[in-house]
Each structure stands twice: as structure tokens, then as C-alpha cells.
């Protein structure tokens, strides 16, 4: 079997990888940009919280100053409050440090003109807790922290509001963003390199095909697989079914088989051995209950590595049926030829008697010839009531005589005019007699000459067919294998496949619950037992019963 070797194309070598790389780079750039923006917002929020907390710390430090506490509780110290607050503002870098009493009057401010003026917003520290937030004050937008101010006695006397200018927050943010930008650029570069390697790997995996070509191949494959009249089954290296078309499901009786192993969907037998490669060769013949199949298995390799196998299955049922009919006609022709030879010899004898004037002798010879011609038919009719079986046995007897073999119907044979299993009996008897004639005619004469004994008996519960010949027989240890498809001791002849006759007989018998046995050693004896009643009559024209009454050459 010639393995299938896959080859990669070179057309459009960089198109697919370039498109994949470009798309991935765009994705990386967009995700990096989005991440950068999200980080900037997150960092801004974090810096806002940090500066608000810093402003609150300054406010709490200011509210803890003894001079401010003393002056705000007992009054008369506005200059002291302004002086201390400004000193703290300059030392901390805050934009303002404002001390406010509970009536909302400012006692300190970077703008001295606003000292003594009320604030616009209410006093929020009346609850005794600190507060933070953003403030749009006279000095601009700032991160603001407000702390409650208590006098030496512990009474709440006002609040301290501290602001840190927003440009300080933004400056801190701009100092941090370049570092993060470097990290983002490094991650993008690493992602781009990984994307490039992935694109190259995908290119190799797709055998150099473009996306449109892959889609077209998939469409073509589906159309081909489900449109052809051959069954196709593909296996991966683990022997799992990866592809199965509709024709293969019909011929092999496979259901949902994708992803399954053969042993999970088919019983052990010749069919499974042909599919898994145990049986080798071309057009391996396999019989199923409904079809005669020709199976071919081809391994698939790439660069020396096994990728699995592809199995094609052809339905040869119709062809086999036609060949059987052809061989039946050939058997009829052989029988007529044999009768012609015998008739010609008798006519020559009769003509000679007439030429020499022995008219009386010629008359007696003609009467004797007419009687002897009917003797064989009458002898068979005494035991066999069905005309189809009678015609088959008489024809086989004539063909056997032509080949130097004597076919005898035993005296204990008895079959009625309408026996059960008639179609099966025609196939079974015809195939067994053909095999016996072939084996006996080609063998050296035994004691008593070349002989075949046929026994047909119809009982109340069984029908028994027994064919015994004087041929070489069945070799020891081969009694079971002779019923397998394709087993034969004779070479192939033209398009006709040997080794199907006994397989047909065996399958016919098994399908109806019967038995078939064969003796080993010289002189084979085949015994077939069919149970009664015949609950499933074989249809006219079925593969297993498609034979003319005259029979045909052995299969």
C-alpha cells in the first residue's frame, strides 16, 4: 500500500503570518493604551488620596499647635494665629493653611485681605471628625484636609483647613507615568515577539495555506466526503476516528463514531481487522450482513511521521450479485455443453447403426437412451419434491460428470415440494457442491473414484444438508478459518473473488441461528443444520440468495 505524503505549498508564504502578526500587534497596542490610561486614572486617584491625607496631616498638626489653640479659645491672638499658620504653610509647601472659628470667620489666610471674612461653605468638623476632599478655593483647586480645632479645655473652637495645590499632584503623576510607559512598551515588545512566533507556527501548522484557501478546502472536503459513493474513514495516530462520511456510516453501520476507537464501535471480526490494518493488501473483501465490501487502507505520513490512516470502503454487493448470476449462466452453459457432448456421441452411435442397416438395434438403442436420460431426474425426484432443488442437483450432477466426478444423492434424503429456507438452500447446496466438485476434480482418484455424496433431509424441527467428497479435505487447524471472507486454496480468476462462497454460507446459516461444521483431514464433510420454522424468509434477489436454479461455479 502506497502511503499518502502531504507536502506544504510555498504560495503566499508571508501573507497569513503577516495578517496574524498585524492583527495581534493592533490588539497589543490597543490593550496597552487602554491599560496605560486606566493606570493613569488609578494612579491619579491614588495620588489624590495621598495628597488629601497629607493635607489632613498638616491640618491636624496645625490644630495641635498650643499657641493657635490658646488664641482661638481665649481670643485676642489673631496675629499669633496668622503668624503660626503662615509658618506652617511655608514649611509644608501647602497652598493655604486657614484657621476658622465656629462662626465661619477666617483667622489666617495666605491673602491677608481675607482675614476676618466669612467662608462660603459650612463648618464640617462640628461632628468632631476630620474630613478630606477637593477644594476650589481662592488659591485654585487643591487637595483639602480639614481637622477639628479644640482649645486647651478640650472644647471645639473651630477648624483648620489645609490645601495642597493640584499642580503638585499632576507633577507627581507625570513623573511616574514614563516609568509605567517603559513597562508597557517592554510588555508590548515581548507580546509582539510572541505573536510573531505564534504566527510562524500557525503558518507551518496550516501547511502554508491562506485563510480563504483553508475555508475553501473545508467546503470542498465536505462536498466531496458526502457526495462520493465510497465510504471514507480517517484515523488519527491514536487510532481514533476523525472523519467518517455518510456512505461509510451506511456501509459499516457506524453511528456517532467521531472520536471513538474501532473497538468501541465495531465487534471483533474481519471487518475490524481490515479497517485497523491487521489485514493487509488491496481490495480486501469483507462480508457484512447486508453488503460485500472492498476495503483499502492507506497510511498518512508527513516528513516521516505517521499522522494516521485513511480507509476507503466500496460497496461491491451489486457487482458480486451480477458475477454470481454470470457464473450461474456459465454453470448452465457448462451443463448444456456436457449434455451436448453426450447427445452428440449418442447420435453418432445411432447414425452408425442406421448406416449399417441395424434398424432394430437402432430402435432399441434410442428407446434405451430416452429412458436413461430421464433416470437421473426421476431418481432425484423420488427424494426431492421441489423442482428448483431438483434442477440444481441434476445440473450439478451433469457438470460433475463432465469433470470426472460422480455426484450421488443418498437414499436417506427427503425434502418436500415447498421446503422452508428454499432460497437459502439453493445458495447453500450450490456453493457446497461447487466447492466439492472443484476439490474432487483436481485431486487424485480415491478408492471408488472421485465421488461426492449429497444428503438433504427435512424434519419437523431441522433441515440438514451434508456434502461429503473424496478430495484432499481440510488441513488440520483450519476448520474455523475457512469460513472467513477471502479464504481460498485456489488462485483469483479475473474479476471474480475467491473465498466468498463458504463465507456466504456461514453468514446465511448464522443469521438464521443454524450451525455449520466441517471435518478435518482427507475427504471433507460439510454439515449444515437450519432450525425450523423459517421465521425470516430470504427475499428474492438478495445477495446471499442470488443464484439461478442451475447453480454456478464455486466461490
3-state secondary structure of 208: coil
In the prediction, which pLDDT does 527 show? 92
3-state secondary structure of 189: helix
For the chain, list residues with pLDDT below 50. 1-2, 5-13, 491, 493-497, 539-555
Could you give the CA distance from residue 73 to residue 56 in angstroms, rounded to a whole number? Answer: 22
Helices (H), 228-382: 246-252, 262-265, 270-275, 317-355, 359-381
3-state secondary structure of 448: coil
In the prediction, which pLDDT does 176 show? 66
Residue 243 neighbours by CB under 8 Å, 6+ apart: 225, 232, 233, 234, 258
| Model confidence pLDDT, tens digit, residues 341-391 | 777 877 888 888 888 888 888 888 777 776 665 777 888 888 899 988 988
Cis omega (within 30 of 0) on the bond before 533?
yes
In the prediction, which pLDDT does 457 show? 92
| Cα–Cα distances in angstroms (integers) from residue 252 to residues 95, 257, 262, 286, in the given order | 89, 11, 11, 11
3-state secondary structure of 70: helix
DSSP conformation letters of 368-422: HHHHHHHHHHHHHHTTB--HHHHHHHHHHHHHHHHTT-EEEE-TT-BB-SS-TTH
| Cα–Cα distances in angstroms (integers) from residue 422 to residues 385, 390, 451, 534, 551, in the given order | 12, 12, 25, 9, 14
Q: Which residues pair with 147 in a beta bridge?
A: 160
Helices (H), 231-294: 246-252, 262-265, 270-275
Residue 474 Cα to chain centre, angstroms: 43
In the prediction, which pLDDT does 494 show? 45
Question: Is residue 362 a contact partner of residue 353, using CB atoms and an 8 Å limit?
Answer: yes
3-state secondary structure of 340: helix
| Model confidence pLDDT, tens digit, residues 148-207 | 988 888 888 899 998 887 766 566 666 666 777 777 778 777 877 777 777 777 777 776
C-alpha cell at 514: 443454524
Q: Which residues pair with 300 in a beta bridge?
A: 4, 308
Could you give the CA distance from residue 459 to residue 422 in angstroms, rounded to a whole number? Answer: 14
Could you give the CA distance from residue 441 to residue 554 in angstroms, rounded to a whole number? Answer: 13
Q: Which residues pair with 148 in a beta bridge?
A: 159
3-state secondary structure of 402: helix
Q: Measured at the alpha carbon of residue 205, what is the angle toward residues 203 and 207, in degrees to the nearest 5?
A: 70
Residue 434 neighbours by CB under 8 Å, 6+ apart: 331, 396, 501, 551, 552, 553, 554, 555
Could you give the CA distance from residue 490 to residue 316 in angstroms, rounded to a whole number? Answer: 21
Torsion region of 117: left, alpha or beta (phi above 0 gives left; psi -120 to 50 gives alpha): beta
- The cell 478459518 sits on which residue? 481
Question: Is residue 279 a contact partner of residue 1, using CB atoms and an 8 Å limit?
Answer: no
Of the candidates 357, 203, 287, the one whose C-alpha atom is nearest the C-alpha of residue 499 is: 287
pTM for the full predicted model: 0.48
In the prediction, which pLDDT does 324 show? 63
Amino acid at each position: 500500500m502506497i502511503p499518502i505524503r502531504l507536502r506544504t505549498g510555498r504560495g503566499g508564504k508571508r501573507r497569513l503570518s503577516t495578517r496574524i502578526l498585524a492583527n495581534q500587534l493592533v490588539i497589543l497596542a490597543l490593550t496597552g493604551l487602554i491599560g496605560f490610561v486606566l493606570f493613569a486614572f488609578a494612579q491619579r486617584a491614588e495620588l489624590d488620596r495621598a495628597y488629601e491625607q497629607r493635607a489632613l496631616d498638616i491640618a491636624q498638626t496645625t490644630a495641635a499647635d498650643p499657641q493657635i489653640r490658646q488664641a482661638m479659645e481665649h481670643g485676642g491672638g489673631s496675629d499669633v494665629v496668622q503668624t503660626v499658620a503662615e509658618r506652617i504653610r511655608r514649611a509644608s509647601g501647602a497652598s493655604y493653611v486657614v484657621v476658622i472659628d465656629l462662626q465661619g470667620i477666617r483667622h489666617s489666610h495666605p491673602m491677608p485681605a481675607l482675614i476676618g471674612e466669612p467662608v462660603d461653605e459650612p463648618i464640617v468638623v462640628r461632628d468632631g471628625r476630620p474630613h478630606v476632599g477637593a477644594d476650589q478655593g481662592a488659591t485654585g483647586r487643591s487637595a483639602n484636609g480639614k481637622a477639628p480645632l479644640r482649645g486647651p479645655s478640650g472644647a471645639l473652637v473651630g477648624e483648620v483647613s489645609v490645601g495642597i495645590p493640584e499642580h503638585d499632584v499632576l507633577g507627581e503623576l507625570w513623573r511616574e507615568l514614563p516609568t509605567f510607559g517603559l513597562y508597557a512598551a517592554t510588555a508590548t515588545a515581548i507580546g509582539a515577539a510572541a505573536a510573531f512566533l505564534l504566527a510562524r507556527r500557525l503558518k507551518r501548522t496550516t501547511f502554508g495555506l491562506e485563510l480563504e484557501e483553508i475555508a475553501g478546502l473545508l467546503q470542498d472536503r465536505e462536498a466531496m466526503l458526502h457526495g462520493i459513493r465510497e465510504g471514507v474513514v480517517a484515523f488519527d495516530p491514536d487510532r481514533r476516528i476523525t472523519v467518517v462520511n455518510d456512505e461509510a456510516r451506511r456501509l459499516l453501520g457506524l453511528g456517532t463514531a467521531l472520536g471513538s476507537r474501532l473497538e468501541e464501535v465495531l465487534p471483533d471480526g474481519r471487518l475490524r481487522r481490515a479497517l485497523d490494518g491487521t489485514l493487509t493488501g488491496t481490495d480486501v473483501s469483507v462480508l457484512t450482513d447486508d453488503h460485500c465490501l472492498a476495503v483499502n487502507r492507506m497510511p498518512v505520513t508527513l516528513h516521516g511521521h505517521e499522522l494516521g490512516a485513511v480507509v476507503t470502503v466500496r460497496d461491491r454487493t451489486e457487482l458480486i450479485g451480477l458475477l454470481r448470476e454470470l457464473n450461474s449462466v456459465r454453470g448452465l452453459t457448462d451443463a448444456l455443453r456436457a449434455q451436448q457432448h453426450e447427445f452428440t456421441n449418442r447420435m453418432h452411435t445411432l447414425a452408425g447403426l442406421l448406416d449399417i442397416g441395424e434398424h432394430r438395434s437402432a430402435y432399441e438403442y434410442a428407446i434405451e437412451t430416452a429412458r436413461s436420460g430421464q433416470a437421473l431426474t426421476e431418481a432425484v425426484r423420488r427424494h426431492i419434491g421441489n423442482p428448483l432443488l431438483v434442477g440444481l442437483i441434476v445440473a450439478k450432477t451433469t457438470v460433475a460428470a463432465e469433470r470426472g466426478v460422480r455426484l450421488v444423492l443418498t437414499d436417506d434424503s427427503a425434502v418436500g415440494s415447498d421446503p422452508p429456507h428454499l432460497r437459502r438452500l439453493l445458495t447453500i447446496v450450490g456453493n457446497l457442491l461447487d466447492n466439492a466438485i472443484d476439490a474432487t476434480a483436481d485431486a487424485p482418484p480415491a478408492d471408488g473414484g472421485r465421488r461426492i455424496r449429497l444428503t438433504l433431509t427435512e424434519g419437523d424441527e431441522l433441515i440438514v444438508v451434508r456434502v461429503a467428497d473424496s478430495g484432499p479435505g481440510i488441513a488440520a487447524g483450519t476448520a474455523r478459518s475457512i469460513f472467513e471472507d477471502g479464504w481460498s486454496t485456489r488462485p483469483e480468476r479475473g474479476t471474480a473473488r475467491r473465498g466468498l462462497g463458504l463465507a456466504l454460507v456461514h453468514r446465511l446459516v448464522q443469521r438464521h441461528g443454524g450451525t455449520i461444521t466441517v471435518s478435518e483431514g482427507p475427504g471433507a464433510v460439510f454439515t449444515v443444520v437450519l432450525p425450523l420454522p423459517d421465521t425470516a424468509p430470504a427475499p428474492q434477489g438478495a445477495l446471499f440468495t442470488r443464484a439461478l436454479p442451475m447453480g454456478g461455479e464455486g466461490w
